Amino acid sequence: MNKPQHVPVLLEDVLQYLNVRPGGVIVDATVGLGGHSSAIAKRLGETGRLICFDRDPEAMELAKARMDEVRAELGEAMPKVVFEPRAFSELAGVIEPGSLDGLLADFGVSSLQLDEAQRGFSFRQDGPLDMRMDTRRGLHGGETAEQVVNQEDENELANLIYEFGEERRSRRIARAIVRARPIRTTAELAGIVSAAAPSMKGDKIHPATRTFQALRIRVNDELGEIRTLLESAPSLLKPGGRLVLISFHSLEDRLVKDSFREAGRMKILEVLTKKPVVAEEQEQMRNPRSRSAKMRAAERQATGAREQGTVSKYKR
């Protein structure tokens, strides 16, 4: 398996706000290709513990290979690393409340998913309209983007493109999609969307970007996953434990911002980032995918959180 190029976004900021220390217990809820996790492992030391979640089985295998390289480098200084092939919405079922020093989640689509045509995430390469992050079973009974595009009625299709893609021309796009059915590939869909709603003056993104985003969010229930994580994450942290979340579009960032504000009001979390942390110009030039990244961080307070009696296989 060839290793796709992967550059973790906001890496130094993530390490700073997670406050990774030797002997700590850290969860990377979206290990992806292991970019953030490999750097975290190097700071945890032999007494530390790193628990890596991801629902993409291909990404998990690549992350394991990357961690083997870190193990070869660190030797006896390598922390204990455990891989959990599951969605981050399932964290509360396996992590003991009050047991974590830090929790990181990067909500972005990985390089692996974008760069491999057969995954169907990108309009820049022709491939099947899949878009499932978990190709073993997926969500909605394994529903793919092809099924959504070809089976939803026009009104529902327009609504999801408007809501999840924040696309103002959603009704025009939905009408064009319905007329062009059946649609089988990413290139077909991108061409249909571009013809129905071409780029306007000043546009910096491809005209199909928002439609593809909407389909991906629907297929993977991404916003539902984030809501579940936001509800459970504070109770999993020790007092002083850090929660670091990276969003890539306004729907995600709004959920994080509102959740942090409410948790701050209830004295559950102290928000550490008054404004989201964004990539500096140098990083944006080096890694264009970092341009839309927004990171927010918060620290668990000693009072205010209600802990749940979850049974955890990671209980010490």
CB-count exposure of residue 4 (10 Å: 0-12, 13-18, 19+): middle
| pLDDT (mean) for 186-205 | 90
Query: What fold characterizes domain 140-220?
Result: DNA polymerase; domain 1 (1.10.150)
Antiparallel, parallel or unpaired: β 80-84 and 49-53 = parallel
Structure-block tokens of residue 205: 């993104």
Residue range 11-112+224-300 forms a domain whose CATH class is alpha beta
- The full set of domain ranges for the chain reads 11-112+224-300, 140-220
pLDDT score of 204: 78
Q: What is the pTM of this model?
A: 0.89
Q: What is the pLDDT of residues 143-156, one digit of tens each?
A: 899 999 999 999 99
- Mean pLDDT is lowest, of 110-114, 149-153, 307-311, for 307-311
Does residue 239 have a cis peptide bond before it, meaning omega lies within 30 degrees of 0?
no
CA distances to 78, 95, 108, 184, 227 from 313, rounded to whole Å, are 21, 7, 28, 43, 24
Q: What is the pLDDT of residues 38-72, one digit of tens each?
A: 999 999 999 999 999 999 888 899 999 999 999 99
